[in-house]
Amino acid sequence: MSRYLLTGAAGFIGARVTELLLEHGHQVVGLDNLNPAYDVRMKQYRLGRLQALPGFEFHKVDICDGRALRALPQGAPIEAVIHLAARAGVRASLEDPWSYVETNAVGTLNLLEVCRQTHIPKFLLASTSSIYGAEAPLPTPEDADSSRPLQPYAASKKAAEVLSYSYHAMYGLDVTVFRYFTVYGPAGRPDMSMFRFTQWIAEERPLVLNGDGSQSRGFTFVDDIARGTILGLRPLGYEVMNLGGHEAVRMTEVIRLLEELLGAKAHVVQQPAHPADMPASWANVEKARHLLGWEPRVSFAEGARELVEWYRRERDWTRTVATG
């Protein structure tokens, strides 16, 4: 049994990683500031489920507040910091780049300092496929150029990655960086296409599609991401790995599948492509397979069905979640 400090515990991926760790009999100290970047009821819902489980302890803390982090109550030694808290999403980072740099760069630095000062040997960082910029080869390997990320979000994650490297180089901190590719699943982010499209089709609202729908994403089911994240807790030195689905799915295909699963027609309203959106993303996951024995298990069709089933079960409130 190990004890982990996990940031972003009320977030989409953080909550699922926490659930799996608790199922494996570990203890999790979860941090989150429950900010209103999207409908806070989603965070409260996830947190409520975690708080019903044994082995979970929660602190409402802002990771940008170094003093608050240092004041956290000490308990049994922490095996690793699993750092998933972030300002996430490419589009919103054009509107408020400051909060992205503050949370994703300074917040990460604060947690690296927690590791250094309290002798926590392992740091796991969530980074993003957006870091590869516009010219990435498909499927994209980790050694593709990531020195020219396009959006402030991706730039702030690059800062987090290289800060983590410097703590590895200077203090011997063991670091795993995961570049996640478009994650979806039950209780997902309401600012992302899978949740929005599900709600808009189910509730017969206009489905706003940016671009002509030919854009594709390496959609990855949240359980695959959570399982890979936990595998990354082993000692590795310093490694950067992609975690992404096998399939790159076009938006037109996403809409078609959701229509089929929901038994309803999408009322598509086409708008110009968003300048922050990439035309395509698709992971090469050879490295995670080689180092961790990981590969995605859940097909897009299966994962989309799970999301739709969850949405329907919770529909009395999910239909009112703000999706922008």
Annotation says 132 is catalytic? no
Nearer to ligand NAD, 45 or 264 (CB): 45
Using alpha carbons, select from 106, 130, 262, 284 the residue that is nearest to residue 192: 130
Out of 153, 167, 180, 184, pick the active-site residue: 153
Q: Which of residues 55-94 bind ligand NAD (CB under 6 A)?
A: 62-64, 84-88
Nearer to ligand NAD, 269 or 322 (CB): 322
Nearer to ligand NAD, 172 or 218 (CB): 218
Q: Does 8 bind ligand NAD (CB under 6 A)?
A: yes
For the record, the structure tokens of 216 come out as: 């594709």
In the block, which residue shows the tokens 């604060």? 110
- Provide DSSP, 31-45: EE---TTS-HHHHHH
CA distance 161 to 163: 6
Q: Does 105 bind ligand NAD (CB under 6 A)?
A: no
**What is the closest distance, in whole angstroms, from the C-beta atom of residue 267 to ligand NAD in the complex?**
25
CA distance 291 to 228: 11
Nearer to ligand NAD, 209 or 245 (CB): 245
DSSP 8-state secondary structure symbol assigned to residue 242: E
Q: Does 228 bind ligand NAD (CB under 6 A)?
A: no
Pairing of the two strands 80-83 and 56-60? unpaired
Q: Which of residues 183-212 bind ligand NAD (CB under 6 A)?
A: 183, 189
The interaxial angle of helices 193-202 and 251-262, nearest 10 deg, is: 40
Q: Does 5 bind ligand NAD (CB under 6 A)?
A: no
Contacts of residue 73, Cβ cutoff 8 Å, sequence gap at least 6: none
Q: Does 39 bind ligand NAD (CB under 6 A)?
A: no
Which positions touch ligand NAD (CB under 6 A)? 7-8, 10-14, 31-35, 43, 62-64, 84-88, 103, 107, 126, 128, 180, 182-183, 189
